[in-house]
Chain A
């Protein structure tokens, strides 16, 4: 079974937010909410400052606390690519999954269920890339099977320095950022 993940080249990302707009359009994300977003992180001391621009979203962790804490099984790991999803008519809106996510990637949809990035599973099932990946004007986002050593994502991770977000939390995120 594939283990889908994403690799984002922070050297190419310009923070244009096309990925954010594409996600909102493709997934009908309600006004005022975001399933993906842009973070700009600046570190160091002048004049040796470094800035990293990242497109962030649910990390579809290998060890997802949002799935284990769900009392109804609405939050689950989908058989296609081990993508973490929510079945909206099984969700009671208890918000345990929202509190359990160290990335604060989830939110409560105005209709009452927990919602988040789905890696555009409806597109992936048709063999397409997620909307954010397909629209990126700088082609900084890559999507594929992390378990396949010949996939583009695996080769990029093998050849470039990279990091994930908060690895110390132990959730084993599947989105990686190339330095």
Chain B
């Protein structure tokens, strides 16, 4: 194993953590610049790791050469590398956006952030980033719990930065839901350790048996993670939390933080428990996913505030991720697997871009009520264009990453004869078109808004377009992400051992 790639894995966790501490201690005006340097390093390390995994397969690293069960293993396979690269891309764009957002705040604009809390933003954001990277790299279930808690605590604190009553209530509700979820997960982890004596997910896969304690642990862990992933009907905390957070935070919460807990559900179900669980359990998750798509989309259409609308759209898009458990077609065909992986990537970029646009236009107009955005498209064409591109991906139209993802999922559903999920996916796309076009139509309407419009600074204008364009690129160049997703799946692992 090349030593350099190990350094990349360590760096992805250590660099943002160290930077968070330094930024916390210095707290000068140069902090934003330092965070951008860190983001650039992160992007470099993530690309390096991706390159390494593409060329030499999945990587493992024992920190300090301490072996299990006391040591910590970092484990990078295809899906975790893809998630890390996605985090560095969305994270980098969010850093640039956040610097513009916070300096606009310093100039006294009416953005919904408590100005006294601004210095806390950068260290919290870097800790969140480090925690996400560590979560994707964790090789055992207990470290996943610790990183999950780091993610939650920093995310809640970031929502709280908005400082107003609504945001504080939303942060509190999120924190209680997420803590309850993690404790359920932790109890499951304890039962798994007692039953099998190890928590490394790659070993557990071969050990588990369908007995009482295992099924109990699987249900506890899944239930806890479902609360954190906000699958319908456990999504009650999500719309307020995501809509009332500061805009750069909303994008990261919807795009990355939810993917963290969903990633663990994928790990648990597909790598450990899938052979033992009754088919009904998968169908239940798939059914809840379908309900989430329909309910979330209909609620999104009804919203008057744009950020609230995008947050409900997240509830719907989370539903698509859970369809995999109903339309699973095995690792060999792998259509559902690739579709879901691609969906996570495209949703992260599209949703972060949409939230950023909403934040920028909120800066320009002063509110995010849709009727106040009348005619904004003529004043800020770049932003509305970025929103449109993100919308194309959310609807699943070509050429976009969202289209590829939905195409793969639809193929899997139709090939397996699962007509209900296929139908719901198509209806979900149409409903998404309704809420996206509603925003576009108002933006280009003939009436001028009564609000005075402030020109938007560059850092608030270009990052969302960058993310939306990346999504179009991934609608055309699909080979590398798909290849990455196939690395380190159970079938390829068996294939590598057998000759």
Q: Do A and B come from one complex?
A: no
